[in-house]
Structure 1
Amino acid sequence: MDTRLLADLVERSAELKGELVAFGQSARFDRWLTPLLLEAAGPGRELDETEAIRIIDRFLLRYRLPDGSTVVDRFVTGRRDLTEAERELLLGWREAYAAEIAEAALRLAVSEPRLVFRNPEKVEQGWQQMREDRAAFVEFCGGDELVLSPAAAEELLNAYYRHRWEAAPAARPGRGRGGRLPGGGLPGADFPVFELPPGPAAANTVGVIYDEVDGLNFYADYGMLRDLFADPHLTGRRKHQDLLRVYLREESIAPLPIRRLAAAHPGTADTVFRKLLRQPGFTWAEHGEELLRRRKPWYYADEPRPGVSVIGERLGELAAGGRR
């Protein structure tokens, strides 16, 4: 292709992209695109503009319609006025954007795993994979609840993910490595694949809990909170009480860690909450679940979903830069 034709095509590409977007957002595709955007927006119907653009781009170029075609395929087929170079450009976008779209889709699957589960079969598949991954985690790490320093937690999780990644081809002969996202780790050949969120990363200790329902989670200063439940004399210390208040107040923290500690220390849980709440008659057995429901109504509003996101082999391959 000569330089003049190439320059004209680059200038034309912006117009073609705008026309493709308008075509994909027309009423004929509304039945498929709108549910994707609504699911990503969640109950609050709020969707970041950047994420919306990525979802629309993926829909235009990668989403398979009932007949197996993509939106860009139909756009090219229906436009008899396009030159051969313009057709090649449009169809080439399916691969040119593929790695970027795959990474965006993976990030969305990690942050919103519920988007992957759109039917009961997918839900059960997710639960089964999470059960398998949790069993492997317990075997590798020695338990489903650990208290570590942030550095030790990252080192352990990276070792675990590497172990799972390297074992996957042997466990599934003849299949690629584009499998699953255990606990949020992104597949790929370059490690480490895991870093703690900012809160736990800056804490003195990190609680690592892989629960049967809530999946794999990380809790800042979990060691201090565990000490509070283990030693009733610490109920008078402000920093320990303040930490428990944070665990009860923050929406980013599910009931899981408090439930775990109360169950592990039944002899002191009542003392801890009576001191914190200033309610002498409080007992965990009678009032614990009511307390959690009152403080964390968001947790009980939706049906539990698996914490493991299932992705296809091609998507995993693209995210890894084309490597299998």
Structure 2
Amino acid sequence: MGIKDVVATGTVMVGGIVPVGDEWMISGKPMAYSAEDADAVLAGVRDLQLKSPDLVFRNPDKLAQGRRLQAEQRASFIDLFGSDLIVVPGDEVKERMLAFYQHAYERAGSKGGPWTRPDLPDFPFTADEQVAIIFDEEDGLGFYRDFDLAQEVFAEPALVIRQQYREVVTAYLRGEDVTPVPLRRLAAQDPGKAGEVFRRLLKKKDFSWERDGEALLRKHKPDWFASPRLPRVIPI
């Protein structure tokens, strides 16, 4: 007798499952709720998924689905903006993101999405800061403040002696919530100048980005390198 023989259609079951080889099995004692209680029981599932995506992606099918969805959304971003990196004033970030969401959803065949919600919160950026929106192939979608200043100092490394430029580069390097993506993108434009930026910033005369850059990122962002990157797009 299988579980479908004892559980009515529409019943919601809450419990644990664990991988056993290539299969999954129920762990512990699950609880069953009637279809009428489904909305109340599942109300917190989405919040749990967002807070603990690693639990979702323990399921290899969900992991594959998340990667596929993220790749599709990145393609939509590039289709709309012409690149996977754009730099916009902080007060335009929300407008650009709503346009992106609409474009991505409509390319996927949906006519409804987050751009139709009047209660969407604003992004925490101001009009006087330039924000890079990068949809990286590996790391997904990210937002990086003061990217214009970072671009300037990587184009003219001598600027790093000025406080505002030094603080931006330091924040990108040492910030716990900043991924390696912006520094990698900036350095890729001219690795020689990137090396000069960090020779001046770190006071290391022999620093070379091509030789030492990856080790520097690993030193300051160990958690990012500790495990494979999970998709930022979480399947519902």
TM-score exceeds 0.5: yes
Q: Is the contact made by 1:203 and 1:220 (CA closer than 8 Å) also made in structure 2?
A: no
Structure 1 unmatched runs, 5+: 1-28, 36-64, 74-89, 171-175, 178-185, 312-324
**Deviation at 1:165?**
2.9
In 1, the alpha carbon distance for the partners of 2:160 and 2:121 equals: 35
In 2, the alpha carbon distance for the partners of 1:91 and 1:241 equals: 58
Query: In terms of mean alpha carbon deviation, does 161-170 or 126-135 score higher?
Result: 161-170
The equivalences for 1:91-102 within 5 A come to 92-95=36-39, 97=40, 101-102=42-43
Q: Is the contact made by 2:180 and 2:217 (CA closer than 8 Å) also made in structure 1?
A: yes
Q: From 202, 213, 229, give the equivalent of 1:277.
A: 202
Could you state the TM-score of these two structures normalised by the residue count of structure 2?
0.79
In 2, the alpha carbon distance for the partners of 1:163 and 1:119 equals: 29
Q: Is the partner of 2:169 in helix, strand or coil?
A: helix
In 2, the alpha carbon distance for the partners of 1:192 and 1:201 equals: 19
Aligned to 2:16: 32
**Deviation at 1:255?**
0.8
**Deviation at 1:126?**
1.5
CA deviation profile, 1:112-146 (whole Å, cap 9, x unmatched): 43332123332222212111110111010121111
**Deviation at 1:298?**
0.8
Aligned to 1:135: 75
Q: Is the contact made by 1:114 and 1:306 (CA closer than 8 Å) also made in structure 2?
A: no
Q: From 117, 128, 143, give the equivalent of 1:190.
A: 117
Aligned AA (2:156): D
Structure 2 unmatched runs, 5+: 1-13, 19-24
In 2, the alpha carbon distance for the partners of 1:225 and 1:107 equals: 34
Change (3 A) 1:219 1:192: farther
Aligned AA (1:162): Q
Instruction: Figure out how many residues of one structure are paired with residues of the other and give that number.
Output: 214
Could you state the TM-score of these two structures normalised by the residue count of structure 1?
0.59
Q: From 212, 219, 223, give the equivalent of 1:287.
A: 212
Between structures 1 and 2, the one with greater strand share: 2
Aligned to 2:165: 240
**Deviation at 1:203?**
6.2
The equivalences for 1:47-58 within 5 A come to none
Q: Is the contact made by 1:116 and 1:122 (CA closer than 8 Å) also made in structure 2?
A: yes
In 1, the alpha carbon distance for the partners of 2:171 and 2:201 equals: 12
